[in-house]
Structure 1
Amino acid sequence: MTAIAPFTLPMPGGEEIVPLDLSVPQPHLDDLHERLNRTRWPEQETVTDASQGVPLLTMQDMCAHWRDHYDWRRCEAMLNGFGQYRTAIDGLGIHFLHRRSPEPRALPLILTHGWPGSVIEFNKVIGPLTDPARHGGDPADAFHVVAPSLPGYGFSDRPSGSGWPVERIAAAWITLMRRLGYDRFVAQGGDWGSAVTNAIATSGAPEVTAIHLNMVIAQPEAEDMADLTDAEKTALADLKRYARDGNGYARQQGTRPQTLGYGLVDSPAGQAAWIYEKFMAWTDSGGDPTRVLTLDEMLDNIMLYWLPGTAASAGRLYWESFRKFAANPVAIPVACTIFPKEIFRASRRWAARKYPNLVHWGEPARGGHFAAFEQPEIFVDEIRASFRTVR
């Protein structure tokens, strides 16, 4: 059969917010099935662990499930159920989920994902955040939730030129919140979402009230190194291990995202393995992400890379901004949650130098890099606690 080009959506006109009733044409799904059926596999790894990457049998089982049992239409209906929209901002069509709370005094909240995540990460927290009474919570903790797809990710447009670093994304998100009629809001993010959220906080926009981060970039200073706590020693050792053998993806995406894109946009098995490896390494699961996420949940996320063919465009954010990932100091209220299996775990004293108005510091017992996806109840509790003082 003839190869099918990645799925794209038309550009919205002007500043109009266009409802999106997502319905991917069947030929795109048939093409995926055919590609999975014709996968050319490498030989098995020469070790008995995952030190060379995703084990062959693991990947073959995942792709067989994807081909024979996975239901994209279920995921599509879930996304449509949240309320999907597109709007043009700064020359790009931006995709976002928007769920308004039934509570009249709800606080507007914008959630930003990272790589290799997507808005799928938030599918288990949108309900409790927007309608806490229905989920056993206090109505006073309600939020109106906006969750956009980063430029070049998911069903947002792919920039056709360079010049979309985190600061420009932050400006686009502020424009989005204004366009939705929110004259006061809070922001949350992890991974690239942390960098974007930090940039929102330092933008000077008067609407931005406070932020929450679940990936905190704050380094120790020289005097700290002589008086490290056990937790700080462990965090630095884990970061050193990551720098030694865990960040090859970032070096590749930060230097040659286009080269990488040829393989991943063409091969669903390749795209799935590139992302699944991070679910193995970065979830709080002992190396088996199916302990905290189902195969279908992980494939839902992978589909938001496969269908629109965003391997190269998503990777370009590393090329644009990776050297500037370190966050600038923030004066407005900041809340932080340090999950135990996050890649980098700043200590409170390191963070307090960068965030002098630190209003909440959480250290849950469980959770990793994909916090909202892995531990939605803990994530929701942390968000509620973080923003109570700024309502």
Structure 2
Amino acid sequence: MLRNVEGMTTDTNLQPFEIHVPQAELDDLHERLARTRWPHEVPGSGGRTDFTRGIPLTYLRELADDWRDRFDWRAQERSLNALGQVVTEIDGQRLHAVHQPSSSPDALPLLLCHGWPGDPFEFAGIVEPLAETFNVVVPSLPGFGFSTPLSATGWEVSRTADAYAELMTRLGYERFAVHGSDIGAGVAGRLAATHPDRVVGMHVASDGAALSMAGETLPMPENLTDDERAQIEAVKDAGKEGRGYFELQNTKPDTLGPALVDSPVGQLAWIAEKLQAWTHPSKELPDDAVGRDRLLTLVSIYWFTRAGHSSARFYYEASHAHLDWLTAPQVPSGWAVFGTRPVARKVFDPWGTVTHWSEFEAGGHFPALEEPQLLVDDLKAFLGPLT
């Protein structure tokens, strides 16, 4: 099983780590894909290519066949292992992280925080260029990737922020900058709010679709014009049919979990549909936005670590912790909005305290995958004066 992967430890000290999925796990995946019990095609919907009802069956079959017959996990494993990685135990929970120190002796430590459905390796393409300037650390959220299995309930944004602060201490980094998107933005915000003596700057990336959180997990801005209110309502209306995953993971993750950890095609459909919905609308398929191999690598990591279930639990824990996701920053802050909307700043910076603000027409929910150079440049522009 995966817990026998080389480098795993229950010791609280940092240990080097390399990914090695046992061959039996790969064989089991391929056998399950070959035995997939496909749904009947509904008459009149054969060959559907749009995502209005969810992921099209023809496209899902294509992905599943490619995952089984062409995709080379071992090649991806070797590529991922080119990045330095560590594991440790913090607050009873196994925590995995990519750690790429800079060759520069005065490099600022930079903590990168991913969200769902992500993993640390969505930053793989920008770790090296960032490591020219920064000591880069990218943890797996508790219950995600190789920070599995979950050791207990209660892993939400605030507890995760404290664990990340302890991780940075163990790595020898007392002062550091932090960047996050999605759940990672919430973790970055909590770090800045609860450890302002250690965080030299906080940078967040979001996309225009996140405007739908106004009035929910984010406060509704005051003094909106009619046009601005219409922009927010349009985003909310567009997002309503995509909220099914959110409500289920927020309320009944244990009902969803067995389906995701028992069916690789179920896990594939659950993630691939979100990659299509959340990347830039000019990209018809996730392949166009992030690449086929990256998509299948992401799903493979969720599959091998059984993170479909435990990552969904993070939503439940976060929603029941009743914490504000956005608080007025107490440290220098930067914000980059990809696939932006004109009203973005009023929603994401209601206090007018963001010191570095950037908006981009390109990109979407996964800027490190979709627009890596824009993200690298924006991080360097924000953090440069702070080093």
Is the TM-score greater than 0.5?
yes
Kept in 2, the 8 Å contact 1:21–1:80? The answer is yes
Q: What is the match of residue 139 of structure 1? A: none
The separation in 2 between residues aligned to 1:23 and 1:222, in whole angstroms, is 52
Q: Does 1:261 align with 2:262?
A: no
Q: What is the match of residue 129 of structure 2? A: 128
Q: What is the match of residue 344 of structure 2? A: 347
292-301 vs 29-38, which moves further: 292-301
Q: What is the match of residue 79 of structure 2? A: 78
95-104 vs 347-356, which moves further: 347-356
- CA deviation after TM superposition for structure 1 residue 159, in Å: 2.3
Render the CA deviation track for 1:283-325: whole Å, top value 9, x for unaligned. 1144322222221110111111000111111000110013546
The separation in 2 between residues aligned to 1:160 and 1:146, in whole angstroms, is 22
- CA deviation after TM superposition for structure 1 residue 25, in Å: 0.9
Q: Does 1:295 align with 2:292?
A: yes
- CA deviation after TM superposition for structure 1 residue 158, in Å: 2.7
Q: What is the match of residue 327 of structure 2? A: 328
Distance 1:335 1:255, change over 3 A: same
Count of residues in correspondence between the two structures = 370
Q: What is the match of residue 251 of structure 1? A: 247
211-220 vs 267-276, which moves further: 211-220
The separation in 2 between residues aligned to 1:220 and 1:63, in whole angstroms, is 41
Distance 1:110 1:91, change over 3 A: same
- CA deviation after TM superposition for structure 1 residue 13, in Å: 4.2
Render the CA deviation track for 1:196-229: whole Å, top value 9, x for unaligned. 11111111352111111112765443422x3544
Q: Does 1:317 align with 2:314?
A: yes
- CA deviation after TM superposition for structure 1 residue 166, in Å: 0.5
Root-mean-square deviation (CA, aligned residues, Å) is: 2.0
Equivalent residue in structure 2 for 1:194, among 181, 185, 197 = 185
Name the amino acid aligned to 2:199: V
Kept in 2, the 8 Å contact 1:211–1:335? The answer is yes
- CA deviation after TM superposition for structure 1 residue 165, in Å: 1.2
Kept in 1, the 8 Å contact 2:268–2:299? The answer is yes
Distance 1:55 1:274, change over 3 A: same
Kept in 2, the 8 Å contact 1:110–1:185? The answer is yes
The separation in 2 between residues aligned to 1:197 and 1:153, in whole angstroms, is 17
48-57 vs 9-18, which moves further: 9-18
Q: Secondary structure of the residue that 2:338 maps to in structure 1?
A: coil
- CA deviation after TM superposition for structure 1 residue 52, in Å: 0.9
The separation in 2 between residues aligned to 1:52 and 1:8, in whole angstroms, is 40
Q: What is the match of residue 223 of structure 1? A: 223
The separation in 2 between residues aligned to 1:211 and 1:346, in whole angstroms, is 22
Kept in 1, the 8 Å contact 2:196–2:330? The answer is no
374-383 vs 210-219, which moves further: 210-219
Q: Does 1:31 align with 2:28?
A: yes
Kept in 1, the 8 Å contact 2:18–2:81? The answer is yes
Q: What is the match of residue 138 of structure 1? A: none
Q: Does 1:167 align with 2:158?
A: yes
Kept in 2, the 8 Å contact 1:8–1:308? The answer is no
15-24 vs 307-316, which moves further: 15-24
Kept in 1, the 8 Å contact 2:196–2:331? The answer is no
- CA deviation after TM superposition for structure 1 residue 388, in Å: 1.6
Structure 2 alignment gaps of length 5 or more: none
Structure 1 alignment gaps of length 5 or more: 132-141
Kept in 1, the 8 Å contact 2:162–2:191? The answer is yes
Q: TM-score, normalised by structure 1?
A: 0.89
Kept in 1, the 8 Å contact 2:2–2:21? The answer is no
- CA deviation after TM superposition for structure 1 residue 249, in Å: 0.2
The separation in 2 between residues aligned to 1:8 and 1:70, in whole angstroms, is 23
Distance 1:233 1:219, change over 3 A: farther
Q: Secondary structure of the residue that 1:177 maps to in structure 2?
A: helix
Q: Does 1:373 align with 2:374?
A: no
Name the amino acid aligned to 2:330: A
Kept in 2, the 8 Å contact 1:44–1:55? The answer is no
- CA deviation after TM superposition for structure 1 residue 11, in Å: 5.7
Q: Does 1:157 align with 2:148?
A: yes
The separation in 1 between residues aligned to 2:97 and 2:137, in whole angstroms, is 7
Kept in 2, the 8 Å contact 1:338–1:346? The answer is no
- CA deviation after TM superposition for structure 1 residue 234, in Å: 3.1
Equivalent residue in structure 2 for 1:178, among 169, 176, 201 = 169
245-254 vs 323-332, which moves further: 323-332
Q: Secondary structure of the residue that 1:98 maps to in structure 2?
A: strand
The separation in 1 between residues aligned to 2:257 and 2:14, in whole angstroms, is 30
Render the CA deviation track for 1:126-150: whole Å, top value 9, x for unaligned. 011112xxxxxxxxxx111000000
The separation in 2 between residues aligned to 1:295 and 1:36, in whole angstroms, is 17
